Copies of this chain bind each other. A is one copy, B any other.
Amino acid sequence: MDPLRTSIVDAGPTHLRIRGYDVLDLMQQATFTDLIFLLHHTRLPTPQERRLIDAILIGGADHGPGAPSCAAARLAASGNRQSPSAAIAAGVATIGDEHGGAGALCMELIAEGVGRANGDRTRFEAEAIRLVEDAQRTKTRIPGFGHRVHAEIDPRVDALFRLAKTEGLAGAGIEFARALETAIAQRIRPIPLNIDGALAAILHDLGFQPLVGKLLFIVSRVAGLSAEVLEEYTREKPMRIRFDVEYDGPPARRDGK
């Protein structure tokens, strides 16, 4: 078998380095958020970048047991009390395109639009309209816009964008996301940017690859899943979660075949 290749961790018998940084040094000087940035990027963040990533990670960590990932983790903790990791794994497996996946899809959209405009911000409007028309033609939802709960405006979006401006990090990603919002309002109806879209815009401006939009949500949400699993283990009885079930299949058959 060939050795497993990694460009991230250099684990020797007497040292442990992540992207060249000694982990012992990091343990004494860096924050976990610094490390998360470093692991998914090529360098440590500036204080301004760290502030934004902290905000993003905090914003996604836990929305309560109503979210599918959290409900699945609590269900698994309810049936399987031998392995909290199995419960967290069940919650993580629940995250996908429909739940926590819009960030990555929206980053792809932003990267496409910004790329086509070739850096020229005067062309953002036209490119945004083009993408919205594409979505109308193929009848696909535009990721990063609209929300199940916050029909109006998600206050976290403004909080994140204000932060990005304060920290001097608002770039083409945020500008293009706003152009998309305008184009959607013109061509479809006003559908506000949601937290996934805001996150996508900011992560684009920080230089991350689109897949990171989904990965950082997972990293963030695992903190919440872990706490919810802890509470399920320590406060609730096993097998307590019941569902009402409605059967609408074929009626009882008389024959054995």
CA distance A198 to B72 in the complex (A): 29
Q: Which residues of B contact A233 (CB under 8 A)?
A: 211
Q: Is the CB of A94 within 8 A of B76?
A: yes
- For chain A, the bracket of interface size reads 35 or more
Assembly stoichiometry (copies): 4
Known: A23-B156, A27-B160, A96-B81. A90 touches B65 (CB 8 A): no
CA distance A69 to B88 in the complex (A): 14
Q: Which residues of B contact A48 (CB under 8 A)?
A: none
Among B7, B33, B39, B79, point to the contact of A226 (Cβ < 8 A): B39
Interface residues of A in 19-40 (CB under 8 A from B): 19-33, 35-36, 39-40
Interface residues of A in 217-257 (CB under 8 A from B): 218-220, 222-224, 226-231, 233-236, 238-253, 256-257
By beta carbon, the residue of chain B nearest A237 is B98
Interface residues of A in 39-96 (CB under 8 A from B): 39-40, 42, 44, 53-55, 57-59, 61-66, 68-69, 71-72, 74-76, 78-96
